[in-house]
A and B are shown apart, each in its own frame.
Chain A
Amino acid sequence: MTVVSPRLTLDAAGPRLASSPTFSNAGQAQLLRTLPLADIEQGLTKIATLMRGPTRIPTQAAAELAAEWLYASCDRATKLGGWHRPHISSTEAGEVVFEWWRGARNLTLYFSAAGAEYIQVWGPDMENEMISGPLNNWSFSNVWLWLQS
């Protein structure tokens, strides 16, 4: 696997945000053997491309967290079923955004220096057709299963 940006390399010894995904030891050993590495590589390349601008450049912390969650979301979604590479973009606020669509449903993940959050969307009503919350392993599994249901 090609590491597209040394600054995006996951560093197990480095500081971790509260929103960082966690892997079990056994899961970590198994992880790289089973993941669709082409998807990971293309996702990391996309994040690195966003970092080069020219506009909506993500913060370093957002890019690193997004890179971690690229692995984690791929790992979990591959196990749960239905994995495909997210649409990846960035915002004026320096966030990295992952999006998936399935029928009328949309799952959006935001990564920033402050952490990660999800938004489930099934219509345009901000009060009654969207749910948002902090992203962690448990919430990701729940929203991924919702997306696939």
Chain B
Amino acid sequence: MDPTVVDDAEDLYRSIRANSDEYSYQDGKLVFSSSAFDDRFMKPSVDRSSLRPNSEDVRINAADGVTKVVTADVRRSCKIPIIKNGAPVGEYAVDAIHRPIENDQNDPDNLAHCQIECNPIIESGSRFKKLKAALANLANKHGFVVTPS
């Protein structure tokens, strides 16, 4: 499958491990930890709602929950000027990039697979920490779309 552009209005689903550190309840209110969007390659995986109509199918394990962020919100979360020698030379941007998985040795096929990536590529741990914080903040608006059991 050829990758396609993710629409601004599209939901991006993220599987959340049940009974994990990825979320907690503070004074009875659900909050997602930055750890919910951690990724060893600094490109958190999500699934596109247009290609994954049933959000329950996003779960990695049957007991897991699912949260979501909206593509337009993700794209708005980062517009940071890159300054070199005192002059702006570009802009850091966050985007949702469709990365369908097909015939991969390590992962099952997932045509809805998408990654939240930075351009230029994130090389700084500090910037990735802010990206995780942004995604957790956005997910807090929506809570669980599938509640973990």
Interface residues of A (CB under 8 A from B): 56, 87-93, 97, 99, 101, 106, 108, 110, 112, 117, 119, 121, 123-127, 130, 132
Contact = CB atoms under 8 A, between A and B. Distances in A.
Given A108-B34, A132-B129, 8 more contacts: A56-B38, A89-B35, A106-B31, A108-B133, A121-B137, A124-B135, A126-B78, A127-B79
A95 to B, nearest CB: 8
A101 B31 contact: yes
Contacts of A90: 21, 35
A132 B35 contact: no
Interface of B: 21-22, 24, 26, 31, 33-35, 38-40, 73, 76-80, 94, 125-127, 129-131, 133-138
Contact of A97 (B35, B39, B126, B131): B35
A88 B38 CA distance: 14
Contacts of A110: 129
27 contacts: A87-B24, A89-B21, A89-B33, A90-B21, A91-B35, A97-B35, A101-B26, A101-B31, A106-B136, A106-B137, A108-B133, A112-B125, A119-B129, A119-B130, A119-B133, A121-B133, A121-B134, A124-B73, A124-B76, A124-B77, A124-B135, A124-B137, A125-B77, A126-B130, A126-B133, A126-B134, A127-B80
